[in-house]
Chain A
Amino acid sequence: KNQVEQSPQSLIILEGKNCTLQCNYTVSPFSNLRWYKQDTGRGPVSLTIMTFSENTKSNGRYTATLDADTKQSSLHITASQLSDSASYICVVSAMYSGGGADGLTFGKGTHLIIQP
């Protein structure tokens, strides 16, 4: 069964500090891995998408890594800001032969709180 596990479940850090969120998956066959930011009561917003051949991708202060061999990904946030407080969701896509479905498996997310 395809699964995505994220850790920690929640994290509290001080403004300006860095943090790293983890994602382990068992989705197969792997197509791509995405990190989304979800503000409370809002829809997820894409931060990064990585395919099998990519092992790092940055989007401003967000840097995602992917190790397809160990099936692990991380999201590193640098110099955190109060607006970074949100849930961060790891989503892994499996390859399907057709039909238009993306075969996405969602993690439960890491709830990040930035304190001033």
Chain B
Amino acid sequence: EPEVTQTPSHQVTQMGQEVILRCVPISNHLYFYWYRQILGQKVEFLVSFYNNEISEKSEIFDDQFSVERPDGSNFTLKIRSTKLEDSAMYFCASRGRYNEQFFGPGTRLTVL
């Protein structure tokens, strides 16, 4: 069964450093999403992406964040200058023509 994959599973970085989180959505899916989940809190929407551009973003998704689909398979989330409060699980999701989003296993980002 096709699934969303994410790499790395765990990323440790120093405050102020740039990180890139990678996702491979399910092939033939059209909509892509990034979410984050701070430990013990609920999943929060960051951004959605369709037709090679951002279709919606939350107030969390400020200028420090960017997304890109550099080729036909990868979907990346870049955090330019990480802060301590960026420590969280980051989930990628994709969906096809119908309504259901499929989530990846997540990347745990730890900012020291």
Contact = CB atoms under 8 A, between A and B. Distances in A.
A102 B55 CA distance: 10
Nearest to B51: A100
Interface in B26-84: 30-31, 33, 41-45, 48-51, 55-56
- Give the interface size class of chain B: 20 to 34
Interface residues of A, number: 22
A43 B56 contact: no
A79 to B, nearest CB: 25
B104 A43 contact: yes
Interface of A: 31-32, 34, 36, 41-46, 49, 89, 93, 99-102, 104, 106-109
19 contacts: A31-B99, A32-B99, A41-B106, A41-B108, A42-B105, A43-B103, A43-B105, A43-B106, A44-B43, A45-B103, A99-B48, A100-B48, A100-B55, A101-B55, A102-B33, A102-B95, A102-B99, A106-B45, A109-B42
Interface of B: 4, 30-31, 33, 41-45, 48-51, 55-56, 89, 91, 93, 95, 99-106, 108
